[in-house]
Amino acid sequence: MARRKIIAGNWKMNKTPSEAVALAVELKPLVANEDVDVVFCVPAIDIVLVAEAVKGSSIKVGAENMYFEESGAYTGEISPAMLVDAGVKYVILGHSERREYFGETNEDVNKKMLKAFEHNITPIMCCGETLEQREQGVTMDFIRQQVKVGFQNVTADQAKTAVIAYEPIWAIGTGKTATTAQAQEVCAGIRACIAEVYDEATADAIRIQYGGSVNAATAPELFAQPDIDGGLVGGASLKAEFGKIVNYK
Ligand code: PGA
């Protein structure tokens, strides 16, 4: 089955509301590509304005995090219903920065995954190993655990619509992209894990991105790999270069 590519920008903690609008307006014509799903994952405070700024294009707006409760006394958190009402279609869950700095566990990520599906928000679930784990030869063991726990109680029909982002931690923001072969190997391993947990049809449908210092020069070869269905792009998504990445062919 030919999977549609999905290329998402992860703006992280960058861009004030007015800066976010300016960037969205600048990128809008540059990221036009009807063959690819294009998503801007932006800080929560920028979501409403960016959604307005990209109207009339096929760009989708995503969030960078979400809480797993419906509403109530959770000071500082953002609920799934708030995101949906603001026009959000995707949410990044379990990014390594959230796991490292905010203590998110695989169990937290799983609760968020289930909530996202309940609200018809497509999760972009992140996984990836540290350099130490790679050197110890436990990359796939670690990632399989992240994926298996993250997808606990997720149905096959839901999993088919999900996105997994493989992001080796040592490649994020370091300018050190995994080699194409390394990225393809792990993405194929993730797909095999989904086939084990579910079935071949689910593994065939789910989209797996590579992330970690993706740029206009590395995107074409990465995205041409059989198990890499696009990218999650940090630094280069804040620049005109993102247009080149989206139009990588
Ligand atoms: P990077 O970030 O492209 O700046 O390495 C990727 C990410 O963390 O999603």
Q: What is the pTM of this model?
A: 0.98
In this prediction, residue 174 has a pLDDT band, given cuts at 50, 70 and 90, of confident
**Tell me, what's the pLDDT at 2?**
86
**Tell me, what's the pLDDT at 177?**
81
- Beta carbons within 8 Å of 91's beta carbon, 6+ residues apart: 41, 62, 63, 64, 65, 66, 83, 112, 116, 121, 122, 123, 124
- Beta carbons within 8 Å of 120's beta carbon, 6+ residues apart: 84
Output the residue whose Cα is nearest ligand 1's atom 9. Answer: 234
Q: Is 235 annotated as a binding residue?
A: yes
Q: Taking the CB of residue 246, how many other CB atoms lie within 10 A of it?
A: 28
**How far, in Å, is the centroid of ligand 1 from the Cα of 199?**
30
Q: Is 234 annotated as a binding residue?
A: yes
In this prediction, residue 173 has a pLDDT band, given cuts at 50, 70 and 90, of confident
φ and ψ at residue 225, rounded to 5 degrees:
-70, 145
Does residue 113 carry a pLDDT above 90?
A: yes
Average per-residue pLDDT for the chain:
97
Q: Reply yes or no on whether 167 is catalytic.
A: yes
Which residues are bridge partners to 165 per DSSP? 126, 209
**Tell me, what's the pLDDT at 176?**
81
CA distances from 99 to 49, 81, 107, 119, 228 (A): 28, 23, 11, 23, 23
**How far, in Å, is the centroid of ligand 1 from the Cα of 190?**
19
Burial 96-132 (b: 16+ CB within 10 A, else e): bbbbeeeebebebbbbbbbbbbebebbbbbbbbbbee
Does residue 29 carry a pLDDT above 80?
A: yes
Q: What would the mean pLDDT of 228-234 be, rounded to a whole number?
A: 98
180-200 pLDDT, tens digit per residue, is: 999 999 999 999 999 999 999
Does residue 1 carry a pLDDT above 70?
A: no
Domains and CATH numbers, the chain: 5-246 (3.20.20.70)
